[in-house]
């Protein structure tokens, strides 16, 4: 390379690095909360970037999530008005918040995979900082297990992955580190996060070790078999105390319910399904708006599904009126609260996450980060409520999906 070429490349590299640092800092502004889980200082930045959205060329796939978010918000507004629920109910505002993040982050990242990964890392750091400085009731108990499980686990994992990828470590180091984090989460009684990390590690190991010798379908079949083996062996190991006293105690408590592992850990599905069956089109406006009759029918359904009649349903289902997480599922909760149109955006996001997982190799060096975030988002869509910074993270996953759909694989390597 000629000297003139070197002098040109170095300023370009410095400019690119400065741009990524700026994007990271913007993402980290999500540490400052403005309103519940729907708005942070990052929201304000995204609002300022909205005019830039009209200056960017868009394909159909790029605006589909915005259309679905608009439908979802309109559905929530109608349901809230009919059911006498505040239009500022956090779940009702979530589709609008998603739209704002999606528009602002589109402008900020230019749909570059590297920039999307960087803003994800910034959001991860912002989440960690929020729980360190403010937190919620569940993370303020002084118990590190609660702090990890209900606060920082995912954010720490994202920042950790981003740093390792930036350091250009040998490629087997990343899945090995994910496996270690997964085992640590098991010991800290956070099984879903452990499962996400271990499955991501298994997918990466399979790809790095097997390469093209075995097709992608069979690699994922093997990973699925690993997941089933994990679900079978983990409770046995937990009962033996191999992953610590907290997980042993939790497993024994759930064994006493005689329910499948998933239902023992998530008792809300009978309540949510009953609420959907009662008002599938318009919804209830809020998960805390259900009537005693709905709860009674939900208990009958739960008993038919295998719950013991003496199970303390009230303790798990009838949450305070200020608790927006009553349904404990973004997908089913959106349907139950806002009606079927409100469920379209979460359903599209679920498909987008599955595609990102399936095609993670096409994200090049950022595949491990995209894969891990998408797997966590799949779990949260099915079994968790909106939590701090998850809306912004889903906007990033939507951007990853759109980048993957509109560019050749070589163009999304970051």
Please report the DSSP string for 193-259 in residue order.
HHHHHHHHHHHHHHHHHHTTSS-HHHHHHHHHHHHHHHHHHHHHHHHTTTT-HHHHHHHHHHHTTT-
- What are the angstrom distances between the C-alpha of 229 and each of 246, 357, 359? 22, 20, 24
The answer to the question of residue 199 being in a domain is yes
Return phi, psi of residue 364, to 5°. 60, -130
- Residue 410's pLDDT band (boundaries 50, 70, 90)? very low
Q: Provide the CA 186 distance to its chain's centre, in angstroms.
A: 19
Report yes or no: 106 and 54 within 8 Å, Cβ to Cβ. no
**Residues whose CB is less than 8 angstroms from the CB of residue 85 and which lie 6 or more positions away in sequence, other chains included:** 79, 92, 285, 286, 289
Q: DSSP for 17-65?
A: HHHHHHHHHHHHGGGSEEETTTEEHHHHHHHHHHHHHTTS---HHHHHH
Report helix, strand or coil for 129.
helix
Report yes or no: 226 and 199 within 8 Å, Cβ to Cβ. yes
User: Exposed, middle or buried by CB within 10 Å (0-12, 13-18, 19+), for 303?
Assistant: middle
For the record, the structure tokens of 289 come out as: 């708006």
Closest to 367 measured CA to CA, from 191, 116, 127: 116
For the record, the structure tokens of 207 come out as: 């790809």
Query: Which segment of 113-127, 251-265, 333-347 scores lowest on mean pLDDT?
Result: 251-265
- Residue 229's pLDDT band (boundaries 50, 70, 90)? confident
| Helix residue ranges, H only, 269-308 | 269-278, 292-304
The answer to the question of residue 2 being in a domain is no
Report yes or no: 322 and 72 within 8 Å, Cβ to Cβ. no
Query: Which segment of 38-52, 87-101, 171-185, 229-243 scores lowest on mean pLDDT?
Result: 229-243
Total domains, the chain: 1
The answer to the question of residue 406 being in a domain is yes
The answer to the question of residue 339 being in a domain is yes
The answer to the question of residue 1 being in a domain is no
d(CA 375, CA 206): 16
Closest to 200 measured CA to CA, from 152, 239, 160, 167: 160
What range does the domain containing 161 cover?
14-412
- Residue 413's pLDDT band (boundaries 50, 70, 90)? very low
- What is the reported pLDDT for 222? 76
What is the mean predicted confidence (pLDDT) over 323-334?
86
Radius of gyration in angstroms for the set of CA atoms belonging to the chain, rounded to a whole number: 22
The answer to the question of residue 312 being in a domain is yes
Q: How many residues are present in the chain?
A: 414
Compute the mean pLDDT over every residue in the chain, rounded to the nearest whole number: 87
Residue 149 has pLDDT above 50, yes or no: yes
Tens-place pLDDT, residues 41-70: 999 999 999 999 998 888 888 899 999 999
Query: Which segment of 140-144, 332-336, 368-372 scores lowest on mean pLDDT?
Result: 140-144
The answer to the question of residue 66 being in a domain is yes
Query: Which segment of 119-123, 161-165, 205-209 scores lowest on mean pLDDT?
Result: 205-209
d(CA 262, CA 362): 32
- What is the reported pLDDT for 414? 37
- What is the reported pLDDT for 86? 92
Q: What percent of the chain has pLDDT over 70?
A: 91
- What is the reported pLDDT for 91? 93
The answer to the question of residue 150 being in a domain is yes
């Amino acid at each position: 390379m000629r000297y003139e070429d070197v002098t040109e490349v170095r300023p370009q590299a410095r400019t690119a690095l400065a741009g990524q640092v700026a994007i990271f800092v913007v993402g980290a502004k999500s540490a400052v909360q403005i309103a519940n889980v729907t708005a942070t200082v990052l929201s304000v930045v995204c609002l300022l970037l909205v005019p830039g959205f009209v200056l960017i060329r868009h394909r159909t796939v790029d605006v589909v999530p915005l259309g679905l978010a608009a439908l979802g918000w309109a559905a929530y507004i109608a349901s809230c008005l009919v059911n006498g629920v505040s239009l500022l109910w956090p779940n009702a505002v979530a589709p609008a918040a998603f739209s704002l993040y999606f528009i602002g982050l589109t402008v900020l990242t230019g749909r570059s995979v590297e920039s999307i990964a960087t803003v994800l890392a910034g959001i991860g750091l912002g989440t960690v900082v929020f729980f360190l400085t403010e937190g919620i009731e569940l993370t303020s108990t002084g118990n590190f297990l609660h702090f990890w499980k209900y606060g920082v686990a995912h954010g720490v994992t994202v920042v950790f992955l981003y740093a390792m990828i930036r350091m250009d470590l040998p490629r087997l180091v990343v899945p090995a580190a994910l496996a270690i984090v997964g085992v640590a989460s098991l010991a800290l009684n956070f099984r879903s996060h452990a499962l996400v990390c271990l499955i991501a590690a298994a997918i990466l190991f399979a790809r790095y070790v097997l390469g093209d010798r075995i097709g992608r379908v069979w690699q994922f079949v093997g990973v699925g078999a690993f997941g089933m083996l994990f679900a079978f062996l983990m409770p046995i190991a937990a009962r033996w105390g191999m992953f610590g006293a907290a997980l042993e105690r939790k497993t024994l408590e759930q064994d006493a319910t005689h329910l499948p592992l998933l239902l023992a850990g998530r008792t809300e599905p009978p309540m949510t399904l009953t609420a959907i069956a009662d008002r599938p089109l318009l919804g209830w406006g809020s998960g805390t708006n259900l009537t005693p009759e709905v709860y009674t029918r939900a208990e009958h359904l739960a008993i038919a599904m295998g719950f013991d009649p003496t199970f303390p349903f009230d303790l798990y289902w009838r949450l305070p009126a200020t608790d927006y997480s009553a349904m404990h599922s973004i997908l089913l909760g959106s349907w139950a609260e806002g009606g079927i149109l409100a469920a379209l955006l979460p359903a599209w996001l679920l498909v987008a996450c599955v595609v990102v997982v399936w095609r993670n190799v096409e994200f090049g060096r950022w595949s491990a980060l995209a894969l891990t975030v998408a797997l966590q988002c799949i779990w949260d869509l099915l079994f968790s409520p909106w939590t701090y910074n998850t809306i912004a993270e889903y906007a990033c996953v939507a951007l990853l999906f759109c980048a993957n759909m509109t560019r050749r694989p070589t163009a999304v390597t970051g």
